[in-house]
């Protein structure tokens, strides 16, 4: 079920600030706050019935449940953090299943550029702009909320522009 262009544009208004907060929080504290995840889900729950046909709304809402279960399994296996899994579940209703093939490429591009930018900034004096960010620590963990939120924003921008 496709998301209408106008619906994607209206979703962008509340989703962008939530996603920017998620990226900031994950970069600075290595956490994705539950309140941001709840806010993202509530935006879909409240605006979805107004912006989408009922059938599309319900099918897309089902994505949340499927991704939540998958995220729980991946979290239990140690493949991703709980916040990442919850954010992906809350973001899932915004994504049309028919767009998954190009969404994977979009996510890969944003992930790779995000990791590169993060590592470059971490290794340069630019890091002093945010010296206390936990994501600068040299461990192998990476703040996935940064590329996940960027991907949701980019996806909705493409959909809103007719893509």
* pLDDT (tens digit per residue) in 88-97: 999 999 999 9
Q: What is the pLDDT of residue 125?
A: 94
Instruction: Look up the domain containing 36 and give its range.
Output: 5-160
Helix axis angle for 145-160 and 82-91, nearest 10°, is: 10
Q: What is the mean pLDDT of residues 40-45?
A: 98
Closest CA to 87 of 100, 69, 114, 68: 68
**Burial state string for 72-102 with b = 16 or more CB within 10 A and e = fewer than 16:** eebbeeeeebebbbbbbbbbbbbbbeebeee
Domains identified in the chain, total number: 1
What predicted TM-score, i.e. pTM, was given to this entire model?
0.94
58, two tokens? 């319900």
Weakest mean pLDDT among 3-7, 42-46, 56-60, 127-131: 3-7
């Amino acid at each position: 079920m496709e998301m209408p262009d106008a619906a994607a544009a209206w979703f962008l208004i509340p989703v962008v600030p939530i996603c920017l907060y998620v990226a900031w929080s994950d970069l600075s504290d290595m956490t994705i706050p539950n309140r941001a995840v709840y806010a993202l889900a509530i935006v879909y729950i409240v605006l979805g019935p107004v912006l989408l046909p009922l059938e599309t709304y319900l099918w897309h809402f089902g994505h949340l449940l499927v991704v939540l279960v998958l995220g729980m399994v991946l979290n239990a296996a140690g493949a991703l953090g709980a916040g990442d899994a919850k954010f992906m579940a809350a973001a899932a209703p915004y994504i049309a299943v028919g767009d998954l093939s190009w969404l994977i490429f979009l996510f890969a591009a944003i992930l790779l550029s995000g990791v590169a930018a993060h590592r470059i900034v971490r290794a340069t004096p630019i890091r002093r702009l945010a010296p206390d960010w936990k994501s600068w620590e040299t461990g192998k963990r990476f703040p996935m909320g940064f590329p996940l939120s960027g991907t949701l924003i980019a996806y909705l921008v493409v959909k809103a522009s007719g893509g």
